[in-house]
Amino acid sequence: MAAPPGEPRRVAYLYLLPAFAVYAVFLLYPIGRAVQISLYDWDGLSLGTWAGLDNYVAIVADEGLRAAFGHALVLIVFYAAAPLVIGLALAAILNHAKVRGLGFFRTVVFLPQVIAMVVVAVAWRRVYAPDGSLNALLGALGLDALTRGWLGDYTFALPAVGVVGTWFETGLVTVLLLAGMSRIPLSLYEAARLDGAGAVREFFAVTLPSVRAEIAVALTLTVIAALRTFDLVYVTTRGGPGDSTSVPSYEVYHRAFGLGQVGSAAAIGVTLTVVIFVISFGINRFADRRTS
Amino acid sequence: MISRGERAANYIILSLFAAFALYPVVVILAAALGPARRGGTAGLANFAAAWEIGRFGSYLRTSLAVSVFVVVVSVVLSIMSGYAFGTMRFRGRSLLFYLFMLGIMMPSEAVAVPLYFDLRSLGLIDTFWSISLPQVALSVAFGTFWMRAYFLASNRAIVEAARIDGASSWRILWQVLLPAARPAVVTLTVLVFMWTWNEFLIPLIMVTSESLRTAPLGLAFFQGQYTSGFTLLAAGSVIVATPVVIFYLFLQRHFVRGLLQGAVRE
């Protein structure tokens, strides 16, 4: 923390009150209620019955729920790992070569971040449609054997959703890493050059360690986004075909409002919250250690 | 230092990636401007047709009302709470701050379910408030964090001088500190606007009447119901995405800065 601010002021509570009131009523209280509901078997209408930790046990024991969390892990590969690898390469190029049009490139790759996810989903549904442009492209390349309705395919629906994640997270990761790389002092590169390091060794010895903090932030943002995937699945596949693209957030919605298993939905929501807290906390610890 | 071949390779890689990033956008734009299968419209007339058939006028009105409300209320509340955390010392300061920090990371899907059932028993479901207030709460958590960071770094000497002159804490906030805080406030405003405009889950759960559907929700329903061709759906998508994209093109710096520096929320 920075220097202790000002002298003691009791008026501070007045400034905090309005924000805290909204926050407490619409976030803190509901998360408490979520924990409470998660301990019951409740259909949302009649009286619930006490279930203890059954709803939490089901997350591990129930095959469908285990699959949903498993799918979230697969999405992490597409949302976090792939953008990190691609982003590192792109940022290294942009930082290293004095390319023209950097501003334009940044505008373009960051654009997916600001487009409503529902719009993104509508666009990609079109790309993946049986008569969509992906199949047209494959056909033009003479790869007709590969064409299919991507989002209706048991094997390919989840990776297809994942690629959309790669598409919209890579720009964010690239711009983030680029900001970090532009702060690396040139003298470090010159020293590496003098030691006879090639471009590849330079990347691993100088660039990569210098952007550790940025990598941590990028991973936090993208992993959480992967775990929270909802809009995209809702609009593109609704968890299908079968349950091949079911994810935790969609299960929360589906169980609470589709199946009338509100207790189970709350338990998934609480579990998701805990997982997100643990990941954020862990990665922030990692970043803090670096700055101190 | 860089060979010509390497430079060409770099440009090719970057162009390929830019094309990948723009591809779905181009797909939507091209489809929105192309000939419609039904109605015989084409070009800009598609937008008018989508506006009419898809009722996007009504959806945009709701989105605008919700966004303005959420932005104004949460930015004002965040300025006040950030001011308290950033410039004042009081009992329970750290504890309260950590409590706010929990909200930044809290996924809305975890709170939306209990909120729905509690608001339903209060008869508040399917109202403007049931869409807006939960989003104010989500935004205030981030906004407090964002404005606190700004006020912590602000010039203490000016504040002390103003206090010695007898200015109240209220005047110091709005007349001394805030004018200089404009960039931080603009960044917060565009982020909250974008989050609120694009939010899908909360309106999906809280709203049943069509007149309260926000733009993304309206688009999702339009997609489910309107099956004669892609043209009007694409035109509707462009209508929904455009307001934020325009803001982004003009205030790009704020979007990038905000999303990179503080966006643990999304």
Number of domain units in chain B? 1
Q: Please name the residue of chain A whose CA is at the shortest distance from the CA of residue B155.
A: A5
Best of B1, B139, B260, B265 to disrupt the A interface (most A CBs within 10 Å) is B260
Map tokens 């805290």 to a residue.
Answer: A20
Nearest to B223 among A99, A114, A235 (CB): A235
The answer as to whether B249 is a domain residue is yes
Contact A219, B264 (CB under 8 A): no
Q: How far is B188 from chain A (nearest CA, A)?
A: 14
Q: Do residue B84 and residue A12 have CB atoms under 8 angstroms apart?
A: yes
Q: Do residue B201 and residue A122 have CB atoms under 8 angstroms apart?
A: no
Which chain A residues have a beta carbon less than 8 Å from that of B263?
221
Domain that holds residue B255: 60-215+243-261
User: What is the mean predicted confidence (pLDDT) over A144-165?
Assistant: 92
Residue A41 parent element (H or E): strand A40-41
CATH class, range A62-291: mainly alpha
Rounded to whole angstroms, the Cα distance separating B259 from B245 reads 15
Q: Please name the residue of chain A whose CA is at the shortest distance from the CA of residue B17.
A: A109
Residue A1 has pLDDT above 80, yes or no: no
Quick one: which of B117, B127, B259, B50 has its CA closest to A222? Answer: B259
Contact B85, B151 (CB under 8 A): yes
Which chain B residues have a beta carbon less than 8 Å from that of A34?
110-111, 113-114
Q: Is the ipTM of this complex over 0.95?
A: no
Best of A10, A106, A114, A275 to disrupt the B interface (most B CBs within 10 Å) is A114
Residue A11 has pLDDT above 50, yes or no: yes
Amino acid at A288: D
Q: Count CB neighbours of A241 within 10 A.
A: 14
Mean residue pLDDT across chain A: 89
Nearest to B113 among A34, A110, A120 (CB): A34
Contact A157, A166 (CB under 8 A): no
Local structure of A8: helix, strand or coil: strand
pLDDT, tens digit (0-9, with 9 covering 90-100), for B48-65: 888 888 889 999 999 999
Least confident of A288-292, B17-21, B74-78, B165-169: A288-292
Best of B37, B87, B88, B233 to disrupt the A interface (most A CBs within 10 Å) is B88
The answer as to whether B68 is a domain residue is yes
Q: Directed axis angle between helix B128-153 and helix B108-121, to 10°?
A: 130
Local structure of A73: helix, strand or coil: helix
The residues, ordered by sequence, that sit 6+ positions from A285 with a Cβ below 8 Å of its Cβ are none
Local structure of A49: helix, strand or coil: strand
pLDDT, tens digit (0-9, with 9 covering 90-100), for A202-233: 888 888 988 988 898 899 889 999 999 999 99
Q: In which band, very low, low, confident or very high, does the pLDDT at B1 lie, cut at 50, 70 and 90? A: low
pLDDT at A51: 86
The answer as to whether B41 is a domain residue is no
Q: Do residue A6 and residue B248 have CB atoms under 8 angstroms apart?
A: no
Which chain A residues have a beta carbon less than 8 Å from that of B249?
107
What's the distance, CA B127 to chain centroid?
A: 20
Which chain A residues have a beta carbon less than 8 Å from that of B242?
none
Q: Do residue A23 and residue B17 have CB atoms under 8 angstroms apart?
A: no
Residue A152 has pLDDT above 50, yes or no: yes
In this structure, chain B runs to a length of 266
Residues forming a β-bridge with A8: B89
Residue B215 parent element (H or E): helix B215-225
Rounded to whole angstroms, the Cα distance separating A166 from A70 reads 18
The answer as to whether B37 is a domain residue is no
Q: Give, as one character, the DSSP assignment of residue B89.
A: B
The answer as to whether B73 is a domain residue is yes
The better pLDDT of the pair B40, A5 is held by B40
Q: In which band, very low, low, confident or very high, does the pLDDT at A2 lie, cut at 50, 70 and 90? A: very low
Map tokens 């047709």 to a residue.
Answer: B49
Contact A68, A251 (CB under 8 A): yes
The answer as to whether B116 is a domain residue is yes
pLDDT at B101: 87
pLDDT at B7: 82
Q: How far apart are the first and last CA of chain B?
A: 41
Rounded to whole angstroms, the Cα distance separating B261 from B231 reads 38
pLDDT, tens digit (0-9, with 9 covering 90-100), for B146-164: 999 999 888 888 888 888 8
Contact A50, A39 (CB under 8 A): yes
Best of A13, A15, A131, A237 to disrupt the B interface (most B CBs within 10 Å) is A15
Q: Do residue A97 and residue B117 have CB atoms under 8 angstroms apart?
A: no
Residue B133 has pLDDT above 60, yes or no: yes
Which chain A residues have a beta carbon less than 8 Å from that of B88?
5-6, 8-9, 11-12, 15
Calculate Rg over the CA atoms of chain B: 23
- Among A24-38, A214-228, B25-39, top mean pLDDT goes to A24-38
Which chain B residues have a beta carbon less than 8 Å from that of A5?
86-89, 151-152, 156
Least confident of A162-166, A281-285, B176-180: A281-285
* CATH number for the domain that contains residue B253: 1.10.3720.10
Amino acid at A32: G
